[in-house]
Chains A and B, each alone.
Chain A
Amino acid sequence: DAKTTQPTSMDCAEGRAANLPCNHSTISGNEYVYWYRQIHSQGPQYIIHGLKNNETNEMASLIITEDRKSSTLILPHATLRDTAVYYCIVRVAHQNSGGSNYKLTFGKGTLLTVNP
């Protein structure tokens, strides 16, 4: 799986948008970008994933550059409960009936602190 680079930490004011960047310059054509977050002492939580088109769900938006070498996770209106470590992971998404090869390689992630 391709390696990712994320800032160690970021701050955001409550109610503002949080934009978390991720570089993945060695991403392969069949690798997806996944985002997870981990709130202190809990298991990681899936947020969103995408291949090349921008994606949006109830939690966040994912913007992937045209060359796919970087992406940005956007939390549109950050709350105090969004304070967590955010992990950007790139991996192949196997979806055939033979099952998945489910190894997630976590880096250090970005500690996002949402301030009141």
Chain B
Amino acid sequence: KAGVTQTPRYLIKTRGQQVTLSCSPISGHRSVSWYQQTPGQGLQFLFEYFSETQRNKGNFPGRFSGRQFSNSRSEMNVSTLELGDSALYLCASSPAGTGSVRNTEAFFGQGTRLTVV
């Protein structure tokens, strides 16, 4: 079974630009979450999508947005990039909704390392 796939793996952008990151969850997983990881703040939750609906959102400005498609693939977008947006962006998928608490663990991708210059 293929794992969570994030593309691209590395990205360099200029301040003021916008960027779109992609995440393909494990086949059959319906929940996709996004996290930002920086040396100073650690791993922080951005948002979670389930069945194309945003179910939970972290404490990030509106420049950070996302969406989920009918095949559960997800994208996140950051507009008007700032230097502080440089980070590792991680996507996690979860089986969710299968009726068993043993299927609630999250599986993470390798992440997209975004550098804003």
| Interchain nearest-CB distance for A92 vs B (Å) | 9
Partner of A102, one of B42, B96, B110: B96
Instruction: Give the chain B neighbours of A104 by CB distance below 8 A.
Output: 33, 35, 43, 45, 92, 106
Minimum CB distance partner of B95 in chain A: A100
> Given contacts A43-B110, A49-B105, A106-B42, is CB(A100)–CB(B50) below 8 Å?
yes
- Known contacts being A43-B4, A46-B106, A93-B101, is A103 close to B111, with CB within 8 Å? no
Q: Are B42 and A100 in contact (CB under 8 A)?
A: no
| Distance A44 CA – B107 CA, assembled complex (angstroms) | 8
- With A and B bound together, what is the CA distance between A104 and B93 in angstroms? 12
Q: How far is B98's CA from A103's CA once the two chains are assembled, in angstroms?
A: 18
Secondary structure call for the A interface = loop
Q: Are B33 and A103 in contact (CB under 8 A)?
A: yes
> Which range holds the interface residue count of chain B?
20 to 34
B90 within 8 A of partner (CB): yes
Shortest Cβ gap from B19 to chain A (Å): 19
Q: Is B17 an interface residue, CB under 8 A from the partner?
A: no
Additional pairs, 14, CB under 8 Å, beyond known A34-B105, A99-B30, A102-B106: A32-B104, A43-B90, A44-B108, A87-B43, A94-B104, A95-B99, A97-B97, A98-B97, A99-B51, A99-B55, A99-B97, A100-B96, A106-B42, A106-B43
Partner-A contacts on B (CB < 8 A): 4, 30-31, 33, 35, 42-45, 48, 50-51, 55-56, 58, 88, 90, 92, 94, 96-101, 103-111
Q: Residues of A with Cβ closer than 8 Å to B?
A: 32, 34, 41-46, 49, 51, 87, 93-108
